[in-house]
Amino acid sequence: MYNIALIGGDGIGPEVVEQAMKVIDATGVKTSSTSYNLGASRYIRTKEVLPDSVLDELRTFDAILLGAVGPAIGSKEVPSGTLERGLLLKLRFELDLYINLRPFVTPPSGANPAFETVDFVVIRENTEGTYAGEGGFLRKGTPNEVATQGSVNTRFGVERAIRFAFELANSRPAKNLTLVHKTNVLTFSGDLWQRTFDAVALEFLGVSTSYNHVDAACIYMVESPSRYDVIVTDNLFGDILTDLAGAISGGIGHAASANLNPARTGPSLFEPVHGAAHDIVGTGKANPIAAIRSGALMLDFLGESQGANKIFSVLSDFAPESGATTSQIGDAIAERVSNAN
Amino acid sequence: MYNIALIGGDGIGPEVVEQAMKVIDATGVKTSSTSYNLGASRYIRTKEVLPDSVLDELRTFDAILLGAVGPAIGSKEVPSGTLERGLLLKLRFELDLYINLRPFVTPPSGANPAFETVDFVVIRENTEGTYAGEGGFLRKGTPNEVATQGSVNTRFGVERAIRFAFELANSRPAKNLTLVHKTNVLTFSGDLWQRTFDAVALEFLGVSTSYNHVDAACIYMVESPSRYDVIVTDNLFGDILTDLAGAISGGIGHAASANLNPARTGPSLFEPVHGAAHDIVGTGKANPIAAIRSGALMLDFLGESQGANKIFSVLSDFAPESGATTSQIGDAIAERVSNAN
Ligand SMILES: CC(C)[C@H](C(=O)O)[C@@H](O)C(=O)O
Ligand SMILES: CC(C)[C@H](C(=O)O)[C@@H](O)C(=O)O
């Protein structure tokens, strides 16, 4: 029995989380869930983003499943960055969710024939880089203003991300790992990443490695993404590359993500990459597949690989009937998953 | 009569620069050119990248046309970053080439039908941000190493890039300018960019504006790039976005770029975005179109808009015959350009 904290969030978030839990139930894995109301609607009502007491409660769970947070597009009620930094990034930092794992698998339907079929995973360092928030202003608001924004990279943080990526690559058939950075320009952070990558590689001689500059990697994502097996990169490049990877592999509506604390000093967090899509709330048009896949990543990380694999295997040849609603898609997947029992 | 410094560079660089000059000649604009041997081959022979005396000579020209620099892929003779920082970036900084202008126009042939037809320009700030080289190491080589990499942004530098972009947008039919940044995470640099953008916008009330986070912009580049007219962004995001923009608009072989000093305190530099492609040197397979378009950008910036427009207009409905060689393509374009006289 796993204790799961559910943060449905805003817009279609609660709808897709509901389907993910339905599918998890269908695997036979037992969970007990508690819902937390966090996100734009709570902020608008109470001006609270993530009260310390809630954060402390969240620490006690086995895992956290999150739908999507964010105000409706164009809404001015939540200043830009409030939920990102106060909730999503705060959870990543406070819970030391140092791995952001995002698998990209071309779905059986809805794949854009313009792009190669892909099956790769991006491992994004999730707790440092420019996300550390380092920097400041000098002479703010004057014509002589300087704004600095630092990227802070530690051997500790870089190495644990790279090691995780090598272990993952080593467990996959292709056993290939690509480091993406911009070492020709970012001579300090890039150098640390490159040296750490080369050092850890010596422990994984069965994994073939390559290196791409981030700009070249964006071209490859469009022109020949099937070259990738596992990619490891820093926080900001990972943010950019994973949205692009979503776009070339069935759309962001299919992209799942896991924010992992592999040291298991607290719960990990699982969330679809897509946003709150307020415009389709209640219409049944929300695609729950990214949330369901995120749920499978959660089961997998909890050690329930059998349950997780049932979901992955159903998703690998599931194409929703045209016009199927959010809950009909959830029902159809849940049914196939329970038949796989 | 314009004095042009030609830096053919490595690989196919000299071949494509030759075609660009052929087409410029065909416009009737008179130039006198001097070739400089810089790039990987010079470095390998002499260990020199950009001697000060050469830099000083380059300062005296009206413009610089560059082919491509870089060693063959896999060559270990030139340490990564040597030519980038010692030559390309050094020229951008020393000559204060503060605008990197890259137009993307879907070519009449070779367009990938998967992508919308586009006609937009990316204005990339070209002299600051993470390219400033700020940062360093602490406890280098130890398990407690910290590597920092700073992005330095000044109101002066940001404003001149943004103002240039507004002026450009204002001169185009669609009159639309999109700021791309990551303001929700990069709270210092992003804030300066956003405030400066908002302030300059007040001077250009005829230009409609929007804002995209860089990760979302990558999705839009793939899914709906025709939304863009002019984009303005920082140095690193510009590097990433322009390679991606090349990939969705006919391939990097078509992408031209101008490194401009609009204050005209020295020459500006024009170069195709593609690399040296050593593997096809001498085969006639190099596509000179990006270099030819870069030459047209050069004429335009020199004030020879009539000559430039002849080239742009020929390119706008030119599709090379299949199997045409580098110089045949150059000849065919030059012929049409002179017939446009
Ligand atoms: C919401 C935002 C802060 C976040 C990020 O930049 O990491 C998002 O884009 C993501 O990729 O999870
Ligand atoms: C070669 C490299 C330093 C350069 C850059 O990063 O600006 C290139 O990628 C470009 O886009 O012109």
* Nearest CB to B152; choose among A141, A146, A214: A146
Provide, as residue numbers in chain A, all residues whose Cβ is less than 8 Å from the Cβ of B222: 222, 244, 247-248
pLDDT computed for residue B108 by the predictor: 83
Rounded to whole angstroms, what are the CA distances from B152 to A184, A294, B82? 18, 37, 22
First to last CA, chain B: 18
Rounded to whole angstroms, what are the CA distances from B276 to A10, A136, B231, B280? 49, 39, 27, 9
- Grade residue A112 by pLDDT with cuts at 50, 70 and 90: confident
The pLDDT tens digits for A133-161 are 999 999 999 999 999 999 999 999 999 99
Question: Which residues make beta-bridge pairs with B101?
Answer: B123, B258
| Section A97-118 average pLDDT | 89
Closest-CA residue of B relative to A80 is B184
Note whether B80 contacts A244, CB cutoff 8 Å. no
pLDDT computed for residue B110 by the predictor: 61
Rounded to whole angstroms, what are the CA distances from A95 to A88, A153, A263, A268, A303? 11, 18, 11, 8, 19
Note whether A247 contacts B145, CB cutoff 8 Å. no
pLDDT, chain A, mean: 96
Q: Find which of A152, A218, A233 to mutate to test the B interface (most B CBs within 10 Å of its CB).
A: A218
* Nearest CB to B240; choose among A145, A151, A214: A214
The position carrying tokens 């943080």 is A157
Residue from A2, A98, A131, A228 carrying the catalytic annotation: A131
Provide, as residue numbers in chain A, all residues whose Cβ is less than 8 Å from the Cβ of B216: 243
Note whether B147 contacts A191, CB cutoff 8 Å. yes
Residue B131 bears catalytic tag: yes
φ, ψ for residue B86 (rounded to 5)?
A: -80, -20
User: By the 8 A CB rule, do B9 and B276 touch?
Assistant: yes
The position carrying tokens 């017939």 is B339
Ligand 2 centroid – CA A6 distance (Å):
44
Across the A:B interface, residue pairs with CB atoms under 8 Å apart total: 192
In the stretch 254-313 of chain A, residues with CB closer than 8 A to chain B read none
User: Which of ligand 1's atoms lies nearest the C-alpha of A92?
Assistant: 7
Q: How far A219 CA sits from the closest chain B CA (Å)?
A: 5
Asked if the model's pLDDT at residue A110 lies above 70, the reply is no
Q: How far A195 CA sits from the closest chain B CA (Å)?
A: 9
User: By the 8 A CB rule, do B287 and B294 touch?
Assistant: no
Residue from B4, B267, B256 nearest B107 by CA: B256
User: Quick check: CB of B93 below 6 Å from ligand 2?
Assistant: no
Q: Report the C-alpha gap between B91 and B105 in whole angstroms.
A: 27
SS3 at position B143: coil
Residue from A62, A182, A228, A310 carrying the catalytic annotation: A182
Full set of structural domains in chain A with CATH:
1-101+252-340 (3.40.718.10), 112-249 (3.40.718.10)
DSSP assignment letter at B129? B
The answer to pTM > 0.95 is yes
Q: Report the C-alpha gap between B317 and A334 in whole angstroms.
A: 54
Testing ligand 1's pocket by substitution, the residue of A87, A88, A269 carrying the most ligand atoms inside 8 A of its CB is A88
Note whether A218 contacts B133, CB cutoff 8 Å. no
In the stretch 173-212 of chain A, residues with CB closer than 8 A to chain B read 182-192, 195
Residue B109, C-beta contacts closer than 8 angstroms, at least 6 positions apart = B319, B320
pLDDT computed for residue A27 by the predictor: 98
Rounded to whole angstroms, what are the CA distances from A122 to A208, A255, A341? 16, 11, 30
User: By the 8 A CB rule, do B302 and B2 touch?
Assistant: yes
Rounded to whole angstroms, what are the CA distances from A170 to A163, A209, A241, A298, B49? 10, 11, 22, 21, 40
The pLDDT tens digits for A203-249 are 999 999 999 999 999 999 999 999 999 999 999 999 999 999 999 99
Residue B239 bears catalytic tag: yes
Residue B331, C-beta contacts closer than 8 angstroms, at least 6 positions apart = B22
Note whether B85 contacts A150, CB cutoff 8 Å. no
Q: How far A69 CA sits from the closest chain B CA (Å)?
A: 14
Question: Using DSSP, how many helices (H) and how many strands (E) does chain A show?
Answer: 12, 12
| Section A291-316 average pLDDT | 97
Q: Among positive and negative, which fits the CA dihedral A204, A205, A208, A209?
A: positive
Q: How far A202 CA sits from the closest chain B CA (Å)?
A: 16
Residue A47, C-beta contacts closer than 8 angstroms, at least 6 positions apart = none
Query: What is the identity of the amino acid at B18?
Result: E
**In this complex, is the C-beta atom of A76 within 8 Å of any C-beta atom belonging to chain B?**
no
Q: Report the C-alpha gap between B332 and B325 in whole angstroms.
A: 10
Residue A182 bears catalytic tag: yes
| Section A250-261 average pLDDT | 92
For chain B (341 residues), the mean pLDDT of every run of 10, in chain order, is 98 98 98 98 97 98 97 90 95 98 88 88 98 98 98 98 98 98 97 98 98 97 97 98 95 92 98 95 96 98 98 94 96 97 64
Residue from A56, A191, A198, A215 carrying the catalytic annotation: A215
* Nearest CB to B191; choose among A143, A147, A236: A147
Q: Report the C-alpha gap between B248 and B218 in whole angstroms.
A: 11
Note whether B223 contacts A143, CB cutoff 8 Å. no
Note whether B243 contacts A133, CB cutoff 8 Å. no
Residue B220 bears catalytic tag: no
Testing ligand 1's pocket by substitution, the residue of A38, A80, A84, A260 carrying the most ligand atoms inside 8 A of its CB is A84
Helices B305-316 & B289-301, crossing angle to 10 degrees? 150
Note whether B247 contacts A223, CB cutoff 8 Å. yes
pLDDT computed for residue B313 by the predictor: 96
Token output for A120: 């790769």
Token output for B95: 């000559």
Helix H or strand E segment including B215: helix B214-223
